[in-house]
Structure 1
Amino acid sequence: MKIQKRTIFIPPLIVLIALSMLCCTPKEQVIFKGVKNIVVDLGSDGKPVLKGDVYFFNPNKLKMKLKDVDVVVLVDGAKSAEVKQHLNLPIPAQSDFSVPITATLTLKEGGLLNTVFGLLGGKKYEVVFTGYIRIGVHRISIKVPVSQKQEIKLR
């Protein structure tokens, strides 16, 4: 008899746990708002370093954590950098938040001489950010797509 009682109570317990997990997941995806404060400087090794702040909005009533940033940076159509950062940043509920990114650029297509002249002459580049961020809520992770296109001028 005890075995039968346990089998009767196990399915409702599983359903209750599943429902409680669904109640704690975000109702809406985090919204990608854009990339700002884009700066390209020369790093200590002489390679251009791209820095910027990626802005998002959390429309949910839940606090979350930003776990990963995985973004590919295309400069003038060529893959020039990849941002892979593993983070554990808190995301406040129903508010904007930003994530600082840093990537070393490899501008191979134009050659070193064209890159140097571009740096000195203030050449404009079309920069495209594509990829995703991973958000964590109560041990559940969600991917949020990132797609942004901007024109920047090296200084």
Structure 2
Amino acid sequence: MAELNSLADLGSAVEAKEVEAAPVHVQKLDKQGRAYATGKRKDAIARVWVKPGSGKIIINKKEYNAYFARPVLQMILQQPLVAANRSGQFDIIATVAGGGLSGQAGAVRHGISKALTYYEPALRGVLKKGGFLTRDSRVVERKKYGKAKARRSFQFSKR
């Protein structure tokens, strides 16, 4: 490495070194032209496939509004598509297991977001800014020995 004696030497050394480009994300598709991703939240795990289509969302072989009856959960599923301005452009097939309905909806949302970035890498910035690519790592705390629940102690008795 060259000897640096002044700030001018440092400037020329920086110019000489090639600036490393940001990592380029490439499209990841299977043989059927679908993007696959796994989404997780709490104890729920969702396997999600995204392909171009008319906007059908099928979860465990049911329409999404039949599987998730609450409007809030349906809205959670739509969030990445609305943020990326791609609602009605992709068919989504998901299988989800474990946890409750809220955790399953979060897992499917996480999977949809990841699969969209695999299908269309240009959407990564928008989805990352919305927080859809971050896995919500909060899980139920385990029960400890000598406790009634995770933190709850047994009832104290003076006599």
Would you call these one fold, judging by a TM-score over 0.5?
Answer: no
What TM-score, normalized to structure 1? 0.24
- So what's the TM-score if we normalise by structure 2? 0.24
Bigger share in strand: 1
Q: Which structure has the highest helix share of the two?
A: 2
Bigger-Rg structure (1/2): 2
Greater relative contact order (CA < 8 Å, ≥ 6 in sequence): 2
